[in-house]
Copies of this chain bind each other. A is one copy, B any other.
Amino acid sequence: MYPKNTWYVAATPDEIAAKPLGRQICGQKLVIYRPRPGELAALEDFCPHRGAPLSLGEVCDGALVCGYHGLAMGCDGKTVSMPGQRVGAFPTIRRYPAVERHGFIWVWPGEAALADPALIPHLEWAESPDWAYGGGLYHIHCDYRLMIDNLMDLTHETYVHSTSIGQKEIDEAPVSTRIEGQEVICRRYMDGVMAPPFWRANLRAHGLPDDQPVDRWQVCRFSPPSHVMIEVGVALAGHGGYEADPKYKVSSVVVDFITPETDRTMWYFWGMARNFRAQDTQLTAQIREGQGKVFAEDTAILEQQQKSVEAWPGRKLLMLNIDAGGVQARRMIDKMIAAENAAAPAPATAAPGSAAPHTQSPTAAAVASAA
């Protein structure tokens, strides 16, 4: 239940620096590696000789040499050579379009002919020297859409992250959910509130007082298939809030790339980009550590939620106003999948790891509810 004709973040460059990486994306097992410094390739992780994972091998002279019997695979999926063999008739393995951009490795798990690198989103914070970025990767046992729901309804911060970024006013402030072009955007503004611990620390780091009321904002932007960028920040109250002059505010972008591994597991590339003290690598490390702890709280609850929705298959879930972001995001996803299915006349054979008979996607029941 995921689109395939799209770019997913599959890895970060450090993961392929020393050796090839075996990783499953959208039910497909891939090996991602650097044929030569600065180059990138992604193939089926399957040696056509005897089926060993190519990710156990090593790169040698631009070829990925199988660690079992030495078949040398080219980055086009064709065998280059093998000791003592003529390899011309060897079957070709599947090549996946892969692009390194914005500090991530992007892979297109669907039809290669459709893979246009221009479809990779532009990320200003990843390219501008005015911004710093720190992040990490979590492997989570849940349907990737549960994570989208999580990020598009930040009222959970009050409960899941009560000691860091949660505060009661998140619940009380209404959220506005809109579709703008290819994005679903949820906006929430909390004016004249006291900042929670995470933001008080950031105010101090920014040289601002942490004991005065602030205007706080959260702008969640979902773009298909599963990217969520969240503008978050606080400004000293009365200076314009989200629009305030930089000297009165501290803000950042929470970065979330969510990549399905199977129907019930996912890779979560999380991070934070900021445009203040961008050169302060110690601050970057410190924010990264704090964010890692906060996001581990989500991991715990999402894995329990996954087990729970699997245990009650068919049980309908509510769609409240606060859930509108997730609901709209899922509709976009469903449309992409439907369009892919319509375009593909015959179903492909089952991909490895995709057969998860218990997998249950939560369904939703409309319930009238308003503040």
Contacts and interface: CB of A to CB of B under 8 A. Distances in A.
A305 interface: yes
A122 interface: no
Interface residues of A, number: 63
Nearest to A27: B311
Total copies of this chain within the assembly: 3
A159 B68 contact: yes
B50 A86 contact: no
Interface in A298-355: 301, 304-305, 307-309, 311-312, 314-318, 320-323, 349, 352-353
Nearest to A174: B84
Contacts of A349: 314
Interface stretch (A12-20, A248-256, A283-291, A363-371): A363-371
Given A68-B301, A159-B70, A370-B86, A53 B308 contact: yes
11 contacts: A50-B323, A51-B308, A51-B309, A56-B301, A68-B156, A69-B155, A69-B156, A69-B159, A83-B172, A84-B321, A90-B318
Interface of A: 29, 45-46, 48-53, 56-57, 65-70, 82-87, 89-91, 149, 153, 155-156, 158-160, 171-172, 174, 301, 304-305, 307-309, 311-312, 314-318, 320-323, 349, 352-353, 362, 365, 367-371
